[in-house]
Structure 1
């Protein structure tokens, strides 16, 4: 698998993540949960990327606004001092003005640097979404690798997605999909979601046999299931 290089472009009211790769010969623009990315051939000129973004600006803005309307309700204002949970611990947001930089966890604070303007709160949210997704990519792969032998299964892959009303999914071809927002829950709840989906590789339903399998690998699963039922709607960016 070829390494991908990441950079960012200011799209004027939105930030675009540029992903250069040897595996593409054409450009592909994506808008996912309000965050814009463009996947391009490794050696394409930056000027060409900017031209593509200008030509697609109307379409990108329409997608961003549509997804903003569909995203879960959040009462955050995205101001310095607000707290955001990560694996059950709260971290304070620190906003700095400047050219966009990916979120960094520095001295217990989530540091985000974005341009000043009317779209700043949305840029901050998108920066946080990108950060949670990147953490989810790493953490969920690690947990699947650790727990799959305990469950006794071999998943076909792991993907991070946004689900409106569930934490994970197991596809018919054996791939596990996880909602990136689960990273806002305590670590034990994340473990439960991973084990839950791994058990679906044995029983692709919620039969008594499935729950017996979950109980075998996680005897206290009911506490985790109840915690998510009660607190899950609070896990929002």
Structure 2
């Protein structure tokens, strides 16, 4: 009877094979955070249509809470809105906009939209991809920097309402809707107040609009005030730096360009982006001096930068600040 019971148990739970019995137990794998888990080995990334997909990983963790797998399993992806071709650079999928042009070399441009490539018509697609792979480190670094910059800009997007906060000369400025005042036709008034206890100064911009004003009305009113203040501030700084550089400026125009902070012409006309008013005064001074220096040297040769350095010695640091700290989005 005992023999029959043992045979029945063997049918449902067969003994391990000799090979399995002698094989050592698999060692547990330690994942970040000190948790222990058994999971299947990684498999190479596979191409699924047009996009790379990460391998599926099975994790058995009876007691410990789930721990996110390393981000390296998910390849980065950079995709230009007008992308017509894509290439794998390292672990990243880069979909780029390709334009044929009358030129002798392959040119790369990395901007907020992603990677754009201009190549001669006689260059094959394989040669274009090979050139991208050769410069992959530079391209991926610039794409990552552009994405980070865009994310910072999105994080600083202004919400146009009573109490909206925006940077003004490098400091926070709070918008206050104040319909009880007309502000003598200036459209707004800057009010500074010292907080008791901390001694710090807070600034607010009082706009003569009702609390029922829509976001577009508030945005336009603030922009109008900033543009007037920008002209005042820029004129003062142009008058300050021009004699120091031995030049004379003839006219000032305000710009709303998205990618250019200023320009200068040989006739003494200067254009400056009013959005510079978001930055601290030292950064604005660098841009003003930069454009005035072009009235002496109309290029970016070493002689030009030496000219800038005579009035703004730390121009390199200020130039980096201007690149690394994007102005807030208004739309």
What is the Cα deviation at residue 169 of structure 1? 0.7
Tell me the SS of whatever aligns to 1:111. Answer: strand
Aligned residue in 1 for 2:191: 106
Q: Distance in 2 between matches of 1:163 and 1:92?
A: 24
Which of 173, 182, 194 lines up with 1:91 in the alignment?
Answer: 173
Pair 1:234-2:327 in alignment: yes
Aligned length: 164
Q: Which of residues 209, 213, 222 is equivalent to 2:316?
A: 222
* Deviation by residue 1:74-97 (Cα, 9 ceiling, x = unmatched): 722212332121111111121245
The residue number in structure 2 matching 1:209 is 303
Contact 1:87/1:183 (<8 A) preserved: yes
How far, CA to CA, are the matches of 1:200 and 1:235 in structure 2?
28
Partner residue in 2 for 1:7: none
Taking CA–CA contacts closer than 8 Å with sequence separation of 6 or more, which of the two structures ends up with the larger relative contact order?
Answer: 1
Tell me, which stretches of 5 or more residues in structure 1 are unaligned? Answer: 1-71
Q: 1:162 aligns with which of 226, 246, 256?
A: 256
1:219, CA displacement in angstroms?
A: 1.1
Deviations 1:182-225 (A, max 9, x none): 01100100110100000000111111211111112211000000
Superposed, 1:1-237 pairs within 5 Å as 75-96=157-178, 102-107=187-192, 108-115=203-210, 120-231=214-325, 233-237=326-330
SS at match of 1:91: strand
Q: Distance in 2 between matches of 1:116 and 1:89?
A: 24
Separation in structure 2 between the aligned mates of residue 149 and residue 201 of structure 1, nearest angstrom? 12
The structure having more radius of gyration, on CA atoms, is 2
Q: Please tell me whether the aligned partners of residues 231 and 254 of structure 2 are also in contact (alpha carbons under 8 angstroms).
A: yes
- TM (norm. structure 1) is 0.63
SS in 2 for 1:109: strand
- 1:60 matched residue in structure 2: none
Q: Point out 4+ residue stretches in structure 1 off by more than 6 angstroms.
A: 98-101
The CA deviation string for residues 92-112 of structure 1, in whole angstroms up to 9 with x for no partner, is: 121245797612112321112
CA positional deviation for 1:236? 4.0
The answer as to whether partners of 1:158 and 1:176 remain within 8 angstroms in 2 is: yes
SS at match of 2:316: helix
- State the Cα RMSD in Å: 2.2
Q: Distance in 2 between matches of 1:164 and 1:115?
A: 30
1:213 and 1:165 map into 2 onto residues whose CA distance is 24
What SS is found at the alignment partner of 2:320? Answer: helix
Shift of 1:161: 2.1
- Matched residues in 2 for 1:156 and 1:235: separation? 30
